[in-house]
């Protein structure tokens, strides 16, 4: 493992790679800072640009954006009370009051330090877990993988923001979309209507472009021409003192643990974990009433959680090929475009890329700190501009990205269709990420259930034949039972 | 009104994006511009690697540049149809494996047939082989089949896909020898690879040289092969018995070759055949073959067409006799 990491460090230290990672991080902060633009969307926009690059630099650029957006989302949350990303919403609770009190620089300073330490914390956990989990996962059989997929889907629908019912509807819709194409065992055509392009199913990379690129632009059209009111336009970052940070070590520890742990659960990640960490810290505090009035703990905790997520989502993505959130879903799609095979064999076959991505997270977190420390005022300036001029460019790059997934126009039409579907979904408060996970995990689950049954001569006992499987089945049933119980009791 | 205008601008941008590409046909001075080799699979697979290796070799033969376009989707059908319907000017070539086309024609109704193409030539043949984990301890394919007969319905054979040459080969072996093993269709080579390395199936059928590195390392054993392995770069594997050697009268292996649309003028196809033959025999391509696992071959167009047509009738025969 150490050799792998050191090797990756050496290959990343080429100037071109470092520049790309740096630019990616800066771009990520910018994208995160602009409300309405998100990290999956930025990665989609980058797809056509990274397509012709070598594999490692391409992923370094994407990783930079991914890490950068996590911090960037806190800028407008603190200065405008409009979070730049859904995950930044929690930071606004204490960040905005602190900025109003006349300390916007310090609020941003706490956000920067929280993100940086959270990022390092998540990285340490990811670096330990990925090789460990992959060495176990390589031995997994079809029944195990099917159960992991089902558990992931149940968790998504249970923990996603909003209601479990909406989450479940989203997941099932995703599963339905995933049934289009040839049956994986009998090769019967399903819902292809004789159209041969649909034989291998709805191309999920194109659907992602629609959901995270085109749909976002469609929903943001209504924000066009709205000026933003900053708390203040002139500010400098004021880094908090070391003793103030050390006194609040619990925030970073809890945030880091929650961020990494929840981030590692497929589909749940970024949006919920800051709130859970925030609530935990508030409950532990001797003065919970001060939360929301602009105290440092309220900024440090969500931001640490936020960036620890980046490490957390890498664990299932790199070890199992299962995405933790929208951004990692697109990165998995990009892996296929670059000729990698995401899944349990990735670590065995392409360990250089796995370690490269991990080292990229670490360096990008460091770059993020540097950029925020030295150049924050330029990013804040941009917050005052109308960002609608960006939309045509996003659409152009999203369309190019869709085209490149197959080099035909078919995925472009899929992207446009799913852009409209995604827009309707988001405007009705259905979390799109549940549909996406349904689409991605659906074929994995179906194929593996059927293979497991084929191998066991159609004996369903195979799904509880080993201890890990028993635990997973118990977790699935327990979660379902809990959700049903909660649904029944809250109604009466 | 302003809102409406904004929406309109976005819609117009959307539709302007739908790309339109057209090349002027040029029949004299062939080849005078960039040649596109369409590989109907995603970048990164075996066919793609061979296509890229061949494009490099072609560049040493012609003065123009040669690029690979991966037009994937629908099990290779999208790219194949795209070439069959492209301008027949010799600048858009298809590079695909024989069984990739014949298997899909056997199993599915698809919008192309073997008559839509002109066959320039085949240059890379890899047999389909039968492998197992070393811990299974089978001596060879006959040993495995004997064990399968002794334990009807208990042994499993994985294939890299439910509707490919591997599936047909497994069904034919099962039908002809009467060995009662269960066929497990994995979704593609990578899943079968994992199952073989993890020893989750008794044996697996996949195109050579997949898993050659594991064979060299002693982890995976070759049980048998659909065609002679005489061109393989790993000498100990060269005398593995073929299906014919053990009394199963079929030959299965994949040959990668170049195809152009049917209507391509004779002048261009004959010039192209010369180019492709030179590239197939070039030092550059030999080097690639050494790295990849097999020495290149050269099968001229007419012979290549005959081979692929007899392969299709063999497949249809297997499907009719042993699958339906």
Measured between beta carbons, the chain B residues lying within 8 angstroms of A443 are 187
- Maximum average pLDDT range among B21-30, B76-85, B142-151: B142-151
Would B112 be classed as within a structural domain?
Answer: yes
Please give the pLDDT value at position B144. Answer: 93
Interatomic CA distance for residues A13 and A11, integer angstroms: 5
Question: Residues of B with CB below 8 A from A194's CB?
Answer: 109
Q: Quick one: residue A268, left, alpha or beta (phi over 0 = left, psi -120 to 50 = alpha)?
A: alpha
Confidence of residue B81 (pLDDT cuts 50, 70, 90): confident
Shared-domain flag, residues B200 and B297: no
Query: Residue A145: closest CA among chain B residues belongs to which residue?
Result: B191
Alpha carbon of A370 to those of A34, A38, B128, B130, B217: distances in Å?
A: 20, 21, 55, 56, 47
The span from the CA of A191 to the CA of B218, in Å, is 44
- Assign residue B159 a region (left: φ > 0; alpha: ψ between -120 and 50; beta: otherwise): beta
User: Is the predicted pLDDT of residue B22 greater than 50, yes or no?
Assistant: no
Instruction: Note the pLDDT of residue B9.
Output: 66
Q: Do A196 and B156 touch (CB under 8 A)?
A: no
Whether the CB-CB separation of A400 and A100 falls below 8 Å is answered with no
Same domain, B230 and B266: no
For chain A, the helix, strand and coil percentages under 3-state DSSP, each to the nearest 5:
75, 0, 25
Within-domain flag for B152: yes
Q: Could you tell me how far CA B20 lies from the centroid of its own chain?
A: 29
- Interface predicted TM-score of the whole assembly (ipTM), two decimals: 0.73
Which of B246, B266, B293 is the last residue in one of the domains?
A: B246
Residue B21 has pLDDT above 60, yes or no: no
Same domain, B121 and B166: no
Q: B207 and B60, same structural domain?
A: no
Q: Which two tokens stand for residue B224?
A: 């048998």
B260 inside domain: yes
Rounded Cα distance between A104 and B82, Å, is 58
pLDDT, mean over chain B: 86
* Record: contact B198-A138, CB cut-off 8 A: yes
Q: What's the pLDDT score for residue B19?
A: 47
pTM to 2 decimals? 0.78
pLDDT at B65 over 80: yes
From A339, which residue of chain B is nearest by alpha-carbon distance?
Answer: B44
Peptide bond into B210 cis (omega under 30): no
Residue by residue, DSSP assigns A141-207 as -HHHHHHHHHHHHHHHHHHSSS-HHHHHHHHHHHHHHHT-EE-TTT--EES-TT-GGGTT-S-HHHH
Whether the CB-CB separation of A70 and A309 falls below 8 Å is answered with: yes
A388 touches chain B (CB under 8 A): yes
What pLDDT band is residue B25 in, cutting at 50, 70 and 90? very low
From the CA of A217, how many Å to the nearest CA of chain B? 9
Could A203 and B82 be called an inter-chain contact, meaning their C-beta atoms sit closer than 8 Å? no
A139, A336, A451 member nearest B186 (Cβ): A451
Measured CA to CA, the distance from residue B205 to residue B221 in angstroms comes to 12
Contact in structure between B80 and B92 (CB atoms under 8 Å): no
Q: Please report, for the domain that includes residue B163, its CATH number.
A: 3.40.190.10
Q: Is residue B6 part of a domain?
A: no
Distance between CA B14 and CA A490 in Å, rounded?
A: 45
Q: Are residues B182 and B277 in the same domain?
A: no
Looking at the fold, whether B118 and B265 belong to one and the same domain comes out as: yes
Most confidently predicted of A49-58, B12-21, B113-122: B113-122
Does A32 contact chain B (CB < 8 Å)? no
Looking at residue A380, what is its pLDDT? 75
Q: Chain B closest CA to A94's CA: distance in Å?
A: 35
Domain final residue, candidates B246, B263, B296: B246
Write the CATH number for B62. Answer: 3.40.190.150
Residue A354's pLDDT is what? 92
Q: What is the pLDDT of residue A478?
A: 92
Is A399 an interface residue toward B (CB < 8 Å)? yes
Q: Is A457 within 8 Å of B6 when comparing Cβ atoms?
A: no
Return the pLDDT at B23: 41
Asked whether the beta carbons of residue B198 and residue A141 sit closer than 8 angstroms, the reply is: yes
Q: Which residues contact A50 (CB under 8 A, 6 or more apart)?
A: A57, A58, A59, A61, A62, A334
Give the pLDDT band of residue B10 (cuts 50, 70, 90): low
Which is nearest to A28 in space by CA: A273, A307, A242? A307
Task: Name B7's Cβ contacts closer than 8 Å, sequence gap at least 6.
Answer: A221
- The number of folded domains in chain B is 2
Q: For position A51, what pLDDT does the model report?
A: 77
The answer to whether B299 and B310 are in contact (CB under 8 A) is no
Q: Is A403 on the interface with B (CB under 8 A)?
A: yes
What is the reported pLDDT for B24?
A: 42
Q: What is the pLDDT of residue A155?
A: 80
Q: What are the residue boundaries of the structural domains of chain A, listed by start?
A: 2-491
Residue B5 lies in a domain: no
Residue B181 has pLDDT above 90, yes or no: yes
Give the residue ranges of chain A where pLDDT is below 70.
Answer: 159-162, 224-234, 267-270, 386-387, 491-492
Which residues on A lie below 8 Å from B111 (Cβ)?
196
Cβ-Cβ contacts under 8 Å, B163 against chain A: 182, 187
For residue B82, what is the nearest residue in chain A, using CA coordinates?
A: A408
Minimum distance, in Å, between the CA of residue A81 and any CA atom of chain B:
26
Quick check: B187 and A184 CB within 8 A?
yes
Residues B226, B260 within the same domain: no
Same domain membership, residue B131 and residue B241: yes
Condensed to tens digits (0 to 9), the pLDDT of residues B201-250 reads: 999 999 988 888 889 888 999 999 999 988 888 888 888 999 999 888 98
Set of chain B residues whose Cβ sits within 8 Å of the Cβ of A197? 73-74, 78
Please check whether residue B13 lies inside any domain of the structure. no
CB contact under 8 A, A408 and B43: no
Domain boundaries, position B213? 127-246
Whether residue B185 is found in the same domain as residue B295? no
Please tell me which of the candidates A409, A443, A455 has its beta carbon nearest to residue B200: A455
Residues B46 and B94 in one domain: yes
Asked which of B227, B246, B265 is the last residue of a domain, the reply is B246
Tokens 């299906």 belong to which residue? Answer: B243
Which residues have a Cβ under 8 Å from the Cβ of B28 and sit 6 or more positions away? none
Residues of B in contact with A407 (CB under 8 A): 69-72
B238 and B152 housed in the same domain: yes
- List helix spans (H) across chain B: 2-16, 46-59, 77-84, 98-107, 141-150, 165-177, 189-197, 212-216, 266-280, 283-292, 301-318
Asked whether residue B131 falls in the same domain as residue B121, the answer is no
- In whole angstroms, how far apart are CA A151 and each of A173, A478, B88? 17, 11, 52
Q: How does strand B66-70 pair with strand A181-182?
A: unpaired
What burial class does residue A165 get, using C-beta atoms within 10 Å of its C-beta: 0-12 exposed, 13-18 middle, 19+ buried? exposed
């Amino acid at each position: 493992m150490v050799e792998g990491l050191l090797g990756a460090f050496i290959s990343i230290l080429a100037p071109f790679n470092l520049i790309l990672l740096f630019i990616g991080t800066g771009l990520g902060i910018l994208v995160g800072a602009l409300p309405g633009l998100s990290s999956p969307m930025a990665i989609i926009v980058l797809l056509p640009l990274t397509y012709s690059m070598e594999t490692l630099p391409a992923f370094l650029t994407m990783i930079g954006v991914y890490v950068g957006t996590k911090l960037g989302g806190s800028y407008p949350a603190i200065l405008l009370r409009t979070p730049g990303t859904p995950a930044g919403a929690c930071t606004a609770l204490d960040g905005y009051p602190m900025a109003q009190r006349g300390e916007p620089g310090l609020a941003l300073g706490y956000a920067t330090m929280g993100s940086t330490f959270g990022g390092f914390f998540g990285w340490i956990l990811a670096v330990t877990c990925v090789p460990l989990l992959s060495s176990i996962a390589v031995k997994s059989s079809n029944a195990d993988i099917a159960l992991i997929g089902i558990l992931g889907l149940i968790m998504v629908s249970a923990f996603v923001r909003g209601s479990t019912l909406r989450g479940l509807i989203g997941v099932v819709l995703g599963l339905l979309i995933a049934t289009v194409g040839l049956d994986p065992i009998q090769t019967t055509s399903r819902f292809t209507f004789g159209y041969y392009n649909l034989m291998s199913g709805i191309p999920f990379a194109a659907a992602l472009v629609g959901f995270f690129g085109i749909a976002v632009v469609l929903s943001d059209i209504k924000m066009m021409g709205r000026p933003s009111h900053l708390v203040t336009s002139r500010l400098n970052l004021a880094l908090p003192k070391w003793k103030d940070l050390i006194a609040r070590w619990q925030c970073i520890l809890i945030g880091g643990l929650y961020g990494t742990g929840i981030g590692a659960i497929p589909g749940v990640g970024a949006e919920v974990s800051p709130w859970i960490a925030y609530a935990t810290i508030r409950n532990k505090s001797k003065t919970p009433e001060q939360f929301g009035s602009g105290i440092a703990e309220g900024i440090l905790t969500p931001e640490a959680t936020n960036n620890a997520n980046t490490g957390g989502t890498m664990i299932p993505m790199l070890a199992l090929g299962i995405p933790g959130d929208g951004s990692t879903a697109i990165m998995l799609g990009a892996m296929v475009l670059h000729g990698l095979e995401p899944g349990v064999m990735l670590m065995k076959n392409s360990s250089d890329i796995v370690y490269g991505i991990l080292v990229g997270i670490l360096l990008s977190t460091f770059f993020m700190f540097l950029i925020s420390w030295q150049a924050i005022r330029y990013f804040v300036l941009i917050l005052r501009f109308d960002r609608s001029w960006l939309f045509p460019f996003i659409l152009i790059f999203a369309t190019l990205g869709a085209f490149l997934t197959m080099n035909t126009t078919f995925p472009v039409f899929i992207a446009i269709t799913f852009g409209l579907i995604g827009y309707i979904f988001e405007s009705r408060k259905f979390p799109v990420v549940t549909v996406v996970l349904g689409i991605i995990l659906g074929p994995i689950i179906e194929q593996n259930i059927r293979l497991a049954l084929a191998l066991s001569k159609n004996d369903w006992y195979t799904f509880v034949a080993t201890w890990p499987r028993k635990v997973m089945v118990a977790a699935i049933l327990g979660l379902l039972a809990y959700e049903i119980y909660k649904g029944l009791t809250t109604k009466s | 009104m302003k809102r409406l205008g904004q929406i309109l601008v976005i819609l117009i941008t959307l539709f302007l994006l739908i790309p339109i590409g057209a090349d002027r046909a040029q029949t004299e001075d062939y080849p005078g511009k960039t040649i596109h080799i369409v590989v109907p699979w995603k970048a990164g697979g075996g066919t793609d690697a061979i296509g890229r290796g061949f494009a490099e070799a072609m560049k040493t033969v012609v003065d123009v540049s040669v690029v690979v376009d991966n037009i994937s989707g629908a099990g290779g059908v999208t790219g194949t149809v795209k070439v069959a319907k492209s301008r027949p000017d010799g600048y858009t070539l298809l590079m695909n494996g024989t069984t990739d086309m014949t298997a899909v024609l056997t199993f599915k109704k698809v919008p192309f047939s073997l008559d839509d193409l002109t066959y320039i030539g085949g240059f890379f043949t890899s047999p389909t082989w039968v492998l197992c984990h070393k811990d299974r301890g089978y001596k060879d394919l006959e040993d495995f089949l004997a064990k399968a007969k002794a334990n009807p319905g208990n042994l499993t054979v994985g294939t890299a896909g439910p509707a490919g040459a591997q599936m047909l080969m497994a069904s034919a072996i099962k039908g002809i020898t009467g060995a009662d093993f269960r066929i497990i269709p994995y979704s593609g080579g990578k899943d079968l690879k994992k199952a073989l390395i993890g020893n989750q199936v008794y044996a697996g059928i996949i195109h050579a040289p997949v898993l050659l590195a594991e064979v060299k390392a002693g982890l995976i054993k070759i049980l048998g092969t659909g065609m002679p392995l005489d061109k393989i770069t790993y000498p100990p594997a060269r005398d593995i018995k073929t299906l014919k050697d053990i009394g199963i009268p079929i030959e299965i292996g994949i040959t990668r070759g170049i195809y152009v649309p049917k209507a391509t003028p004779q002048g261009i196809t004959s010039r192209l055949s010369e180019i492709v033959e030179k590239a197939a025999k070039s030092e550059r391509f030999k080097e690639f073959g050494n790295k990849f696992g097999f020495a290149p071959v050269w099968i001229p167009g007419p012979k290549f067409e005959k081979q692929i047509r007899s392969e299709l009738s063999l497949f249809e025969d297997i499907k009719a006799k042993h699958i339906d």
